[in-house]
């Protein structure tokens, strides 16, 4: 849980606002990978996506998005490695130095830690590749169209087919289109979860209620 709290934001009580700070990098690659998976689950939840973590680490995917009848397998990767040019980052898309086989997962969710940027890329676009370049410009910006493309997971998992309130739909669209601070994201996730309970007929617990 301590790793989960290493987010690139902090609250300045003197001025009363959220500031972006240089994130503390987890040096151990396996620990950083686990942390990235936890960040993905939080961000997916903020987008209104049902997300779960399969038991164990022997699968070819890290997380599952969707509900029974329409699951989407997601492989989560993260990177802090800059390209030699210094313009962008290189992100591994392989396992044990071997490219993933076809059908190993449906989407790659790649997190550029230093930029706090997520890329949601269909697996077919990286098939056979051992790495991709992200946060690039010009002719190298092959995957920029997939930066923050959470809607692709929503469409693939059929989440948009469910009945949602106008307020919730507008909120999800706003989150997907505009980067938000940590406190704003937390409030959005909390509001979404409250509405989820209300739709299921479960009233939020009041202070003093028994656990």
Across the range 9-16, mean pLDDT stands at 49
Q: What is the pLDDT of residue 77?
A: 96
pLDDT at 90 over 80: yes
The kind and range of the H/E element at 76 are strand 70-79
Q: Are 53 and 63 in contact (CB under 8 A)?
A: yes
Query: Residue 207: its pLDDT value, please?
Result: 47
Q: Let me know: does 188 contact 171? Beta carbons within 8 Å.
A: yes
Mean pLDDT of the chain: 78
Every domain of the chain and the residues it spans: 3-199
**Per-residue confidence band for 27, with pLDDT thresholds at 50, 70 and 90:** confident
φ, ψ for residue 16, nearest 5 deg: 70, 40
Query: Bigger pLDDT: 202 or 50?
Result: 50
What Cα–Cα distance (Å) separates residue 85 from each residue in 2, 126, 134, 142, 159?
Answer: 34, 22, 13, 16, 40
72 closest CA partner among 126, 153, 7: 153
Is the pLDDT confidence value at 140 over 80?
no
Contact between residue 89 and residue 95 where contact means Cβ atoms under 8 Å apart: no
Q: How confident is the model at residue 13 (pLDDT cuts 50, 70, 90)?
A: very low
Q: Which fold has domain 3-199?
A: Trna Endonuclease; Chain: A, domain 1 (3.40.1350)
Looking at residue 51, its pLDDT comes to 94
List the single range of 44-58, 70-84, 96-110, 164-178 with lowest mean pLDDT.
164-178
Report how far apart, in Å, the C-alpha atoms of 208 and of each of 194, 203, 205 are. Answer: 18, 14, 9
Give pLDDT, residue 162. 52
pLDDT the model gives residue 1: 41
Comparing 62-66, 71-75, 180-184, the range with the smallest average pLDDT is: 180-184
182-199 vs 166-177: helix crossing angle, rounded to 10: 150
Do 31 and 39 contact (CB within 8 A), yes or no?
Answer: no
Angle, helix 182-199 to helix 29-46, in steps of 10 degrees: 60
Whether the per-residue pLDDT at 210 is higher than 80: the answer is no
pLDDT confidence bin for 46, thresholds 50/70/90 = very high
């Amino acid at each position: 849980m301590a790793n989960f709290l290493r987010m690139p934001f902090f609250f300045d009580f003197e001025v009363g606002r959220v500031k972006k700070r240089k994130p503390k990098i987890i040096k151990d690659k396996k620990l950083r990978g686990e942390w990235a998976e936890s960040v993905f689950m939080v961000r997916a939840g903020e987008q209104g996506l049902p997300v779960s973590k399969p038991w164990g680490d022997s699968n070819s995917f890290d997380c599952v998005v969707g509900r029974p009848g329409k699951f989407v397998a997601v492989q989560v990767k993260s990177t802090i490695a800059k390209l030699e040019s210094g313009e962008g980052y290189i992100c591994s898309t392989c396992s044990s130095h071997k490219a993933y086989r076809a059908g190993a997962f449906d989407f790659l969710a790649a997190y550029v830690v230093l930029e706090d940027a997520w890329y949601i890329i269909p697996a077919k676009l990286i098939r056979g590749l051992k790495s991709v370049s992200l946060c690039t410009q010009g002719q190298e910006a092959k995957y920029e169209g997939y930066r923050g493309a959470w809607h692709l997971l929503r469409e693939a998992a059929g989440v948009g087919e469910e009945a949602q309130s106008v307020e919730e739909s507008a909120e999800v669209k706003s989150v997907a289109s505009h980067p938000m601070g940590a406190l704003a994201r937390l409030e959005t996730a909390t509001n979404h979860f409250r509405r989820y309970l209300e739709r299921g007929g479960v009233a939020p617990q009041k202070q003093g209620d028994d656990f």
